[in-house]
């Protein structure tokens, strides 16, 4: 079956512009996560969706970041008024449930470069 897909694979934007990153999770997976990975760094948790519950937004670095998950499937991460420090790889992951153990399946990521 298809894995987690993300688009675009690369995005170059100018400082101050808004960007939207898309994630298509594995069909049937109820949990969806967004992470950010800067060069040589670990994964920084951003936001988590589980079914119809309110998302856990505790990892979002600022109010310029927001995310939606429509119909319990596709998710969009939006970054408004991008800054150079937003440059990173944004990874999406999905898992079957939110309970432990929570093995996550990752997409290939979107590399965002803010000029």
Question: Which positions lie near other proteins, rule CB under 8 A?
Answer: 4, 35, 40-43, 45, 48, 50, 56, 58-59, 91, 93, 98-109
Tokens of 52: 């119809």
DSSP 56: B
Helix (H/G/I), strand (E/B), else coil: 4: coil
Tokens of 50: 């589980």
Q: How far is the CB of 27 from other proteins (least distance, A)?
A: 18
Cα–Cα dist 53/87, whole Å: 30
Cα–Cα dist 53/38, whole Å: 29
Q: How far is the CB of 62 from other proteins (least distance, A)?
A: 19
Nearer to other proteins by Cβ, of 1 and 42: the residue is 42
Nearer to other proteins by Cβ, of 27 and 100: the residue is 100
Contacts of residue 102, Cβ cutoff 8 Å, sequence gap at least 6: 31, 95
Cα–Cα dist 16/103, whole Å: 36
Q: How far is the CB of 52 from other proteins (least distance, A)?
A: 15
Nearer to other proteins by Cβ, of 59 and 72: the residue is 59
Nearer to other proteins by Cβ, of 53 and 81: the residue is 53
Q: How far is the CB of 111 from other proteins (least distance, A)?
A: 8
């Amino acid at each position: 079956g298809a894995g987690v897909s993300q688009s675009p694979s690369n995005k170059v934007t100018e400082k101050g512009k808004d960007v939207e990153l898309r994630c298509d999770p594995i069909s049937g997976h109820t949990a969806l996560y967004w992470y950010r990975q800067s060069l040589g760094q670990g994964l920084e948790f951003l936001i988590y969706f589980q079914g119809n519950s309110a998302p856990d937004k505790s990892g979002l670095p600022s109010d310029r970041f927001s995310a939606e998950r429509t119909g319990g499937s596709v998710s969009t991460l939006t970054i408004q008024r991008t800054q150079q420090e937003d440059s990173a790889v944004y990874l999406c992951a999905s898992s079957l449930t939110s309970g432990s153990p929570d093995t996550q399946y990752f997409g290939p990521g979107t590399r965002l470069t803010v000029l």
